[in-house]
Chain A
């Protein structure tokens, strides 16, 4: 189970903010440890873990939606003083700014290596729709990424 720890953390960090992501990761593995005896032998453990993480993320998004909303976040701008923003952070922010289905499809397929059939099941859509969401997400990210890399 622990061999999937880094992959699940990548997913959590792509779909949630840093602090929430770490909590979601811990909650995912605690829930998995509690539930492990019920897992059928031969199940895809990584898909199962990502499913738990997916539910934890939905819970957190729901909690955030009902919580008092802070002032709209200030978009990050590259520093004017020649100090470059962390490229990873900019990319991560761009992933989190995607529409939810695209964001999840990109994270589950590209960061957790789940096949589209499973991504579709997680998102409650078809395999083809999951593939489309991921492709749209990647296209949107590439646009943003290339703009940022341009001088």
Chain B
């Protein structure tokens, strides 16, 4: 026997989100969880000229920066799987990162002094990321040059993969890696964002 659901549409007002109250509760929860040491991944978003960036940090440092095209919800789910399911919206832990990124986009900062947590990159990918930080503000390097610096001159394609999977774009400057023929190459945030970052640094 099929039972029909009674019409409960009049309950709709109770299902409507109370955004303001919810934000307050969420902030209180984040503060309590941080005090108890059960907040493993804090996140927030910031508005930038290249779109709304998701920032996430562990107690070791900034662990993830993500572009909108990567899907913020998908990135948070991955963090829950790979780092810890204790993921909360907690802007306070990311104040320094947000401030340094704001300064970078305002051309008031050329390098970042943030603690970084590179646990999402392993092996050769991590070696590549460490070498990317050697490419200075406003400069570029080819994928081949980065492969050489990383100790594997033939691993040009692997350098491309490491850049594409950089967990900390903008902060670890994979946008400064371009193709050997001088063309811009691909970018995790889209070529338009890469062009915007290179223009920002060139100005």
The judgment on whether A and B are partners is: yes
Docked pose: A141 CA to B12 CA in angstroms: 13
Given A95, A131, A135, which contacts B14 in the complex, CB threshold below 8 Å?
A: A95
With A2-B88, A5-B26, A138-B6 as known contacts, state yes or no: A33 contacts B33, CB within 8 Å.
yes
Q: How many residues of B contact A (CB 8 A)?
A: 29
Interface string of A119-147 (1 = CB under 8 A from B): 00000000000010001001101100100
Docked pose: A141 CA to B10 CA in angstroms: 9
Task: Determine whether the beta carbon of B11 is less than 8 Å from that of A91.
Answer: yes
Residue of A nearest to B6 (CB): A138
Task: Determine whether the beta carbon of B85 is less than 8 Å from that of A36.
Answer: yes
Task: Determine whether the beta carbon of B32 is less than 8 Å from that of A1.
Answer: no
Docked pose: A33 CA to B26 CA in angstroms: 13
Q: Main SS of chain B's interface residues?
A: helix
Q: In the A-B complex, list the 9 residue pairs whose CB atoms are closest, starting with the nearest.
A: A88-B13, A33-B38, A138-B6, A6-B17, A36-B85, A138-B8, A110-B8, A33-B86, A145-B10
Interface residue stretch chosen among A22-30, A54-62, A75-83 = A22-30
Residues of B within 8 A of A (CB): 3, 6, 8, 10-11, 13-18, 21-22, 25-26, 28-29, 32-33, 36, 38-39, 73, 80, 85-89
Q: How many residues of A contact B (CB 8 A)?
A: 33
Closest Cβ–Cβ distance, residue B52 to chain A (whole Å): 18
**Counting chain B CB atoms within 10 Å of each CB, which of A6, A92, A145 scores highest?**
A6
Docked pose: A39 CA to B85 CA in angstroms: 10
Docked pose: A88 CA to B15 CA in angstroms: 10
Task: Determine whether the beta carbon of B14 is less than 8 Å from that of A14.
Answer: yes
Task: Determine whether the beta carbon of B89 is less than 8 Å from that of A2.
Answer: yes
| A17 CB within 8 Å of chain B | no
| A111 CB within 8 Å of chain B | yes
With A1-B80, A5-B26 as known contacts, state yes or no: A142 contacts B17, CB within 8 Å.
no
